[in-house]
Amino acid sequence: MVATHGIMAAGAIAAILPIECKSSQEVADICKQACPTLAVVHASTLETMKDALATCMMTDVQIVVIGQDAKHDPKNGIHSLHKLIEQPRHDAEAMVMDPNDISFTICTSGTSGPRKLAAISHGVAALRQSSASYSLITNKAHSYMSCQPISLAFGNANANLGIHQRARTVVCRTPIPFETICALIERFKVERTSASLWTLLDFTHSPVVDKYDLSTLKCILSSGQHVPDAVMKAVKARINADVIAIYGSTECAAISSRSTADYTLNGSEGKILLGRENLRVVDEDGNDAAVGQPGELWVKSYKLASVCDNGYYNNPEASAKAFREDGYYRTGDYFVVDNDGNYQYRGRMSDRIRTKGKTVNVTREQSNTKHDGLICVLLTLMMMMMIMQFPPAFLEDLCYQYSEDIRECCVVGAFSTILGYELPRAYVVLVENSKKDQQAFTDGLVSYVNNRVPQAEMQLSGGAKCLEKLPLTTSYRVDRYKLRGIAQEEVN
């Protein structure tokens, strides 16, 4: 935090590395985009950074090392921060910032493609802070705790907001064990905290909860993954803390929020924070999708990363694809607008399941071309299939409704090499110490879902399976790509 603000105050751009980037190659991939002139690292990551810079042939980049026993070797471009602070300094005038200049970059999650650096200007950074309409604490004796990395947009924004509001702020090093989270809540009398979906699930099921006094905890903020209504209600019932689920992205900050405190949970994303006039749900032809029909969400906002024509730092090609000239950002998320004007999240477009649709039959009488006979022969020999695509979120919601014994759920398309299309397949993780017979449970789950889907093509024709845990990416999101590979092997 100190390093980030120091870099920005000096008039430079702070490119924040994701904490989950452990290997020198991962760091090098980001360095190639950031083109740094200075690297600030912790002593424990010095060698990783040196290797990354060597990979990028950026060995002339100076490195500042944070840590009490940090190495200090100026001749080789390595400087201890403590040693630098001890050196005499000359007074200098404070930097004057242009609001349109880039202040820092935040990495995208990388779950749907290579990581990109969302460029945030000084003006946009200030607007994102000032537009937060909630107080992190109401009792000065209490604390706010950030359990999400400051290298992520949401964790960064809320940690900064806590400091801005002069709230006692506990910033946790991640990943953090769930029992440590509970112990810190009791110790620091935490009133509000941020948490991932997996931590929310721990609050609902883990016996650790009963070992600690969590009575000061009134609210949990969660973002980064869709939080089912059932999970929010379960947290409220277990520890009497309201959950605020925030939908947004690195590129445009918070778009909407829904809460167990002030919103009737009905499957939608709740209160629109940007104004409905700044949202569009667009079909594949670029037109506004009809009510009840899915489309990609487009967002226009003064808080967008592209507000200063920056978009993604040093990545004009990706910027052109995501940020339109008319000011809209293409989120890549599937949404449906219902009859009441509510926006319902249906998953990432890249997660859509591609399965068979209806067979296209063309008869000789229906053909108007002079080659109709040949066409009919070809169609007789080879059946043409329309590919139906749909997001898995609806099926996942049905799975959660089936039983409270489901702790985690993910539905993916399992590609059948025989049929040539994907079969919806569900993977579930049961609560700890569940005594359910797994085969009987998954058979019942498949039957329950198949009897409730609106179209036969959406049935769990690929079946269901219980796992001990779902595979996660380095940013702690469900690794759907890996699950699809597992599913393909199992159905074939």
Cross-strand bridge partners of residue 478: 472
In tens, the pLDDT along 169-199 reads 888 887 889 999 999 999 999 999 999 888 9
Structure tokens at 433: 């110490």
88 Cβ neighbours under 8 A, 6+ residues apart: none
Signed CA dihedral, 298, 299, 305, 310: sign only: positive
State the angle between helix axes of 393-402 and 229-239 in degrees (0 to 180), rounded to the nearest 10: 40
For residues 395 and 264, what is the distance between their CA atoms, to the nearest angstrom?
Answer: 21
For residues 400 and 477, what is the distance between their CA atoms, to the nearest angstrom?
Answer: 18
Q: What's phi and psi for 219, nearest 5 deg?
A: -155, 140
Residue 343: name the closest of 387, 278, 403, 406 by CA.
278
Structure tokens at 56: 């990028």
Identify the pLDDT of residue 306.
61
In tens, the pLDDT along 109-149 reads 877 678 899 998 888 888 887 777 677 888 999 999 988 88
Identify the pLDDT of residue 303.
73
Which domains does the chain carry?
A: 2-86 (no CATH), 118-349 (3.40.50.12780), 392-491 (3.30.300.30)
For residues 417 and 174, what is the distance between their CA atoms, to the nearest angstrom?
Answer: 41
Identify the pLDDT of residue 36.
94
In tens, the pLDDT along 287-344 reads 999 998 889 999 988 777 765 556 899 999 999 999 988 889 999 998 888 888 888 8
**Quick count: other Cβ atoms within 10 Å of Cβ 72?**
13
**Quick count: other Cβ atoms within 10 Å of Cβ 244?**
23
For residues 396 and 383, what is the distance between their CA atoms, to the nearest angstrom?
Answer: 31
Identify the pLDDT of residue 382.
43
31 Cβ neighbours under 8 A, 6+ residues apart: 52, 53, 56, 58
Residues of the chain with pLDDT under 70: 112, 133, 262-268, 274, 306-310, 357-387
127 Cβ neighbours under 8 A, 6+ residues apart: 302, 303
Residue 355: name the closest of 274, 455, 280, 273 by CA.
455
Structure tokens at 204: 């609902």
8 Å CB contact between 233 and 304: no
Residue 227: name the closest of 409, 353, 429 by CA.
409
